[in-house]
Amino acid sequence: MTPTSIPATLPFLPPYLLERIASSASPRLRECASQTLVVDRHFRARSGALALPPGSSVRGEPARYVYTADQLQTLPGRLVRREGEGDSGDPSIDEAYHGLGATYRLFWEAFGRHSIDDRGMAMLATVHYGKDYENAFWDGSQMVFGEGDGELFNRFTSALDIVAHELSHGVIQHEAALIYADQAGALNESLADVFGSLAKQHEQGQRVDQADWLIGEGLFTERVEGRALRSMAEPGTAYDDPLLGHDPQPGHMRDFVVTQADNGGVHINSGIPNRAFHLAAMALGGHAWDTVGPVWYDTLINRGLARDSDFAAFAALTLTTGAARFGTTSREVAAVHEAWRAVGVLP
């Protein structure tokens, strides 16, 4: 499958997970999952961008806007918190606001990037979207967060890396605009996971050996047998639940999943580049946003990254950008090369 453009929405939960719930859960959960799939398909097919409020003209200072949809499906909704205002007391509103801030700080302090477009673009988030909506997505202009169903999923603002993942899709859109299918789409998802995890590590001041390397930790309720939606350290081990099934992510090219579902497996095969990033980060130690993080960021913004790049093309470019930043014989380049070799992408 080779679509010519990025779809209107990039969802956090993969469709195969929602389809499983819709076909085998309780009547209420079936309804929640089915309605979420309908909403996701509707937004994916729409076109047109939202008129954004003023951004920030001061580099290093974000412009955040948080709205509530009041359980309707209207975007952006009612403005409830803007830049500089104090906590509202509503967990969804405040988690979204602080998540946007933490993600901005990662991109600014680690990579010198001023918001999504590097020109101070306003960062918008809508919470309380729909009734029992079980997803979060980037729609080309803003982030949207559902409340979850309270049985399987908590609110989608509860994990910082989910907020950062969705905002990072915006950065990817403005830089590489990777086609959302097959290996290019899996790279899109993986990059969003990478920067999502880095935002959490950066906010908590964690070294690589202190980080959990989980994506969506805290999203599942206690009813689900799982730690998170994905594990960058051990793809395929994040959950194993009677209802949700087993985490299908591979961590090596020998297990690459060939499928037409999920836009060619974009949420599944992203485990391979995710693991490569984790291996390189662990080999280098310290703070990942200082070591391998800049290599991945430099590769994302490199004009040589084609929209349809596969894993091998991206990996080769990381060696080029790593050499440009750290030197051809640096330990950073050696660690990156070994990581790609370990997951079967490079010989």
Q: Would you state the pLDDT for residue 3?
A: 42
Instruction: Report the 10 Å Cβ neighbour count for 204.
Output: 11
Q: How far apart are the first and last CA of the chain?
A: 26
pLDDT digits (tens, 9 = 90+) for 193-222: 999 999 999 999 999 999 999 999 999 999
Rg (CA), the chain: 19
Q: What amino acid is encoded at 181 in this protein?
A: A
pLDDT at position 321 over 80: yes
Q: Would you state the pLDDT for residue 47?
A: 47
In CATH, which superfamily holds the domain spanning 182-342?
Neutral Protease Domain 2 (1.10.390.10)
pLDDT at position 171 over 60: yes
Peptide bond into 76 cis (omega under 30): yes
- CATH number listed for the domain at residues 10-175: 3.10.170.10
pLDDT at position 5 over 60: no
Q: Which residue in 83, 95, 166, 175 is the catalytic one?
A: 166
Active site residue 61: no
Examine domains 10-175 and 182-342 and report if their fold is the same: no
| Average pLDDT for 12-29 | 93
Residue 49's pLDDT band (cuts 50, 70, 90): low
Q: Which residue in 165, 267, 278, 287 is the catalytic one?
A: 267
Return left, alpha or beta for 322; rule: phi > 0 is left, psi -120 to 50 is alpha, else beta. alpha
Concatenated DSSP letters for 279-325? HHHHHH-S-TTTTHHHHHHHHHH-TT--TT--HHHHHHHHHHHHHHH
- Residue spans of the domains in the chain: they are 10-175, 182-342
Active site residue 166: yes
pLDDT at position 4 over 50: no
234 with 250: CB under 8 angstroms?
no
pLDDT at position 265 over 80: yes
